[in-house]
A and B are shown apart, each in its own frame.
Chain A
Amino acid sequence: MTRRRARCGWGLAMVAVGVLAAACTRAPATQKSTDLRTEVARLQRTSALLQRQIELASEKEFYLVIDPAASAVSLMLRGAELQRYPVLGLQIGHSRVSWVGRHDPRPWQGTIWSNGELNPPRQIDRLVIQAAPPGKDVAEPEPAEIPPTAEELYPVPMRYHIRFAGGLSLEIRPREADANAGRWARLWASWSAKWRDVAAAILTRDRDVVRLRMAMNPKDAESLYRSLPPAVRLIVLAGGADANADSK
């Protein structure tokens, strides 16, 4: 009985070794095929992204290009890079209500988003002058006031969005990227942001399908807020350092 058991055990062991050997000989071929398919998929994606960037460069609108591989966001027009800002961090946000997530299956990467507008918008106060008719006795003109600089004219909020048609928004929080900001300032920013997020997630009108949160240097974030042209477009590149780096 013992011998029989021993023979069975050896038999099973040999079968197991045989199966393992067969699997190992097959694995490299499978791996190679998977690599090739991944490469084809990557090339398809690269071509699609390049095609869209060419489309954006051929039109008259300003557009933003977020390149996660290069950690940068560029403001561009007709293929020319006008301004480039380093991105210190990038996060993706999806809305949820009472812990139940609302994921939108539509692709957002590699898609062209349009009509981006600042929220809150830059307040532009225009000075309106009604010129006195010529020939009338005009009082001695008062010395003209020196107009404020852009920094004085456009204060940048603690948090702002660039909202695009279709439900994607960029959220930029300048002060959170500044480690020197006071604890209370950061706490207050988080608290007020949380309440806004709750309202935005519940109210359909304000709900962003996808939020990209970008952490930037405060000076860069302020510069972007002040300089952003109206109705800007956006494309988020999907990585692939070789294609994206060559496209600059």
Chain B
Amino acid sequence: MEPLPSLPSSNGTPEPAAGPEPDSPSTSAPTNPSAIGPRGFGLLPLDRRTRSLVTALVTLLLAIAWAGTGYRYEPYVEALPKLSGDVPANDRSLKPLASRLTRRARDLNARLKATAPRGMYIVIDQTQNRLYLKRNDETLLQAVCSAGSGMVLKESGGKKREWVFDSPRGRFEVLSMLRNPVWRKPDWAFVEESQPIPKNPTERLDYGSLGEYALYFGNGYMIHGTLYERLLGRAVSHGCIRVGRDDLREVWAHANVGTPIFIY
């Protein structure tokens, strides 16, 4: 509270105001509250400048920690091989060991090569709808095909069956090769069309829809031709692998019964 203005004395000069004495304890504290600032963590009062410094320091430390967190990558460098097992210390014993290991490596190499298919084999990428005809390490043909659509068909009445139209994955073999194949339509082909399932077997036969050739590889799956070549490259089949006419001729010319088929 500010002292009251002094009243002039009888001689005209103002008397000093009867306020607090100078340099007393009560006068040492500043009167502007904003100059104090909040207390830091209840320990020390922090002014604005100190707060800014602390904030900047913490941010910097966090940024440094962030920069050093994650994964540190180094170029791949071949590691030096280390001896394993009981290895003799002297050279005289090392040389025969090296010879034995060389022979073993050669044998293992031969065994590994024997696992690879010899001669012709077919590789099918069912996601990208591509068929490859290979011989050893050479690719003779790369064809566009159509693999299973992945669609699920549910039967309403009857047995309420369900079919999933995926192409299988794994290793198969050509079990039989058919020229001008006739399709014996399974139940799902009628269910899909909402048609009654025929009791007469001849009513299931469909001529021409499988193209000129078919390579059967088991469980009802075939590599065959198609009437819908414009849909090649898209997953539209019911699980079989559809191939265009020209490419199918090429596959037919090179494959035999027993030719491996790999589908992934």
A248 to chain B, nearest CB (A): 7
Contact check, B73 vs A238: say whether CB atoms are below 8 A apart.
Answer: no
A246 to chain B, nearest CB (A): 5
Contact check, B109 vs A226: say whether CB atoms are below 8 A apart.
Answer: no
Chain B, Cβ-Cβ closest to A50: B108
Contact check, A127 vs B108: say whether CB atoms are below 8 A apart.
Answer: no
A218 to chain B, nearest CB (A): 15
The answer, among A79, A126, A135, for a CB contact under 8 Å with B152, is A126
Contact check, A54 vs B129: say whether CB atoms are below 8 A apart.
Answer: no
The answer, among A32, A48, A53, A239, for a CB contact under 8 Å with B91, is A32
Count residues on chain B whose CB falls below 8 Å from chain A CBs.
74
Contact check, B116 vs A81: say whether CB atoms are below 8 A apart.
Answer: yes
**Chain B interface: which of A10-18, A36-44, A180-188?**
A36-44
Q: What residues of B have a CB within 8 angstroms of the CB of A45 in the complex?
A: 81
Contact check, A134 vs B112: say whether CB atoms are below 8 A apart.
Answer: no
Chain A, Cβ-Cβ closest to B164: A126
Contact check, A41 vs B82: say whether CB atoms are below 8 A apart.
Answer: yes
Q: What residues of A have a CB within 8 angstroms of the CB of B105 in the complex?
A: 43, 46-47, 50, 243
Q: Is B250 an interface residue (CB 8 A)?
A: no
Q: Is B111 an interface residue (CB 8 A)?
A: yes
The answer, among A69, A100, A131, A201, for a CB contact under 8 Å with B70, is A201
Q: Is A192 an interface residue (CB 8 A)?
A: no
Q: Is B54 an interface residue (CB 8 A)?
A: no
Chain A, Cβ-Cβ closest to B106: A246
Contact check, B94 vs A40: say whether CB atoms are below 8 A apart.
Answer: yes
The B78-112 residues at the A interface (CB cut-off 8 A) are 78-85, 87, 91, 94-95, 97-98, 101-102, 104-105, 108-109, 111-112
A134 to chain B, nearest CB (A): 4
Q: Is B181 an interface residue (CB 8 A)?
A: no
Chain B, Cβ-Cβ closest to A109: B79
Contact check, B108 vs A51: say whether CB atoms are below 8 A apart.
Answer: yes
CA distance A82 to B128 in the complex (A): 13
A133 to chain B, nearest CB (A): 4
The B207-264 residues at the A interface (CB cut-off 8 A) are 231, 233-236, 260, 262, 264
Q: Is A143 an interface residue (CB 8 A)?
A: no
**Chain A interface: which of B5-13, B18-26, B117-125?**
B117-125
- 10 more contacts with CB within 8 A, not counting A44-B101, A147-B149, are A41-B83, A47-B104, A50-B109, A77-B264, A82-B264, A90-B75, A95-B71, A97-B68, A131-B192, A212-B76
